[in-house]
């Protein structure tokens, strides 16, 4: 069953829409780490007045955005090994210093993609198989970031391709961290994760809280101030 069959005529928020929603939520001056994949899109939507500093696990402190054409420098990449440009005043450190900054909690937030997130704030984003521990997977810097950033925000699709839930009571995949997620941004809404439960804070345009709850694999509280997600201006 596809999502269209599940909710005929209902459009979900696009990745760009979601990236903009996340980007404009950063308070002024935050030090932000963006995970590989979907979260890298967030960097394109911050406003200069926010004075956000983007850091990358490979030691780039202060990259400006994805580079193209003549701006490409072959030695300047982000954690996704995408060519990036540097902000004025950028600094570059080696990997151990980069993770020293991460471990001491310098990052106000890390925005990571995920396959699953649970109501206890745990999430799973480094392997898709559930079998015995065989040392196979792609952790990268996610465990260091998840354990040490001040906040962990998850940017993900609300459901699997088969329309199964990704927001769950318990993760079924091996976790990246056993707790720490504070916000989840999906193509259906914005959710806070607090005191062991998900709360719907904002719903996608055209979607009701009940419709979203039906596609969520854990109890979903609805904020008394729930609103429709607004595209940031």
Work out how close the CB of 162 gets to another protein at its nearest, in angstroms, rounded to a whole number: 15
Residue 57 appears among annotated catalytic residues: yes
Contact between 34 and 23 under an 8 Å Cβ cutoff? The reply is no
Report the C-alpha gap between 155 and 141 in whole angstroms.
16
Contact between 142 and 112 under an 8 Å Cβ cutoff? The reply is yes
Contact between 204 and 224 under an 8 Å Cβ cutoff? The reply is no
Work out how close the CB of 95 gets to another protein at its nearest, in angstroms, rounded to a whole number: 4
What are the tokens at 147? 């354990």
Work out how close the CB of 196 gets to another protein at its nearest, in angstroms, rounded to a whole number: 16
Residue of 5, 57, 162, 201 with catalytic role: 57
Work out how close the CB of 230 gets to another protein at its nearest, in angstroms, rounded to a whole number: 32
Closer CB to another protein, residue 173 or residue 229? Answer: 173
Closer CB to another protein, residue 2 or residue 135? Answer: 135
Please give the C-alpha separations between residue 83 and each of 16, 60, 79, 87, 142, in angstroms, as whole numbers.
Answer: 20, 12, 10, 13, 20
Q: Which residues make up the interface to another protein (CB under 8 A)? A: 56-60, 73-77, 81-83, 92-96, 98-100, 102-103, 122, 125-129, 133-144, 147-148, 174-179
Contact between 10 and 207 under an 8 Å Cβ cutoff? The reply is yes
Closer CB to another protein, residue 80 or residue 205? Answer: 80
CA-angle at 171, arms to 80 and 35, nearest 5° = 15
Catalytically active residues are 57
């Amino acid at each position: 069953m596809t999502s269209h069959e599940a909710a005929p005529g209902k459009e979900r928020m696009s990745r760009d829409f979601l990236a903009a929603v996340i980007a404009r939520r950063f308070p002024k001056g935050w030090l932000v780490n963006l995970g590989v994949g979907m979260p890298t899109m967030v960097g394109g939507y911050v406003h200069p007045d926010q004075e956000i500093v983007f850091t990358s696990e490979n030691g780039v402190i202060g990259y400006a955005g994805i580079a193209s054409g003549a701006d490409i420098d072959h030695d300047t990449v982000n954690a996704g090994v995408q060519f990036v440009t540097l902000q004025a005043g950028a600094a570059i450190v080696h990997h151990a210093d980069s993770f020293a900054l991460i471990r001491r909690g310098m990052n106000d937030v890390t925005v990571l993609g995920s396959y699953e997130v649970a109501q206890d704030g745990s999430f799973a984003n480094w392997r898709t198989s559930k079998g015995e521990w065989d040392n196979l997977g792609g952790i990268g810097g996610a465990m260091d970031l998840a354990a040490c950033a001040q906040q962990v925000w998850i940017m993900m699709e609300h459901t699997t391709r088969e329309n199964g839930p990704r927001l769950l009571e318990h993760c079924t995949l091996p976790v990246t961290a056993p707790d720490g997620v504070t916000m989840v941004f999906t193509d259906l809404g914005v959710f806070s994760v607090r005191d062991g439960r998900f709360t719907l804070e904002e719903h996608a345009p055209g979607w009701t809280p009940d419709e979203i709850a039906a596609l969520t694999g854990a109890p979903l509280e609805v904020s008394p101030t729930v609103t429709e997600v607004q595209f940031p201006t």
